[in-house]
């Protein structure tokens, strides 16, 4: 998964921030989906790496409960967790998801439910 995340990061389109992010998601079928951030001059249109990977997985048939693990990689010194929007998007598909944050020098494992406590999910509609 790390290799897939780094490979995706290498394709990031970040001409404004120069902040390249790669992500990889592992599904219950064993498939790995990568994603990279894609910036736009109109910043609200930007796409994060995690949601890019999630979109690819959903397009391939991912259903809620189908994620096994996530990896997020950057080249910056401080490990970078997913933004709030990405945390919310991921929790729809696996609340107890292990999320590995990595750069060239360190790795840190978290659980998605700890990164997004008191999350809002589809269960609130029942």
50, 78, 92, 96: which is the annotated catalytic residue? 50
> Residue 78 carries which DSSP code?
S
- For the question of residue 50 being annotated catalytic, the response is yes
Q: Which two tokens stand for residue 46?
A: 């930007």
- For residue 102, the SS3 value is strand
- Residues classed as catalytic: 50
């Amino acid at each position: 998964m790390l290799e897939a995340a780094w490979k995706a990061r290498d394709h990031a389109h970040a001409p404004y921030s120069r902040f390249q992010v790669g992500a990889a998601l592992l599904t219950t079928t064993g498939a790995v989906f990568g994603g990279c951030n894609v910036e736009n001059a109109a910043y609200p249109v930007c796409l994060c790496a995690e949601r890019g990977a999630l979109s690819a997985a959903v397009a391939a048939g991912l259903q809620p409960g189908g994620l096994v693990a996530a990896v997020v990689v950057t080249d910056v010194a401080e490990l970078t967790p997913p933004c709030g929007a990405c945390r919310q998007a991921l929790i729809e598909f696996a609340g107890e998801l292990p999320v590995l944050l990595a750069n060239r020098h360190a790795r840190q494992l978290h659980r998605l439910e700890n990164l997004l406590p008191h999350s809002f999910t589809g269960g609130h509609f029942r």
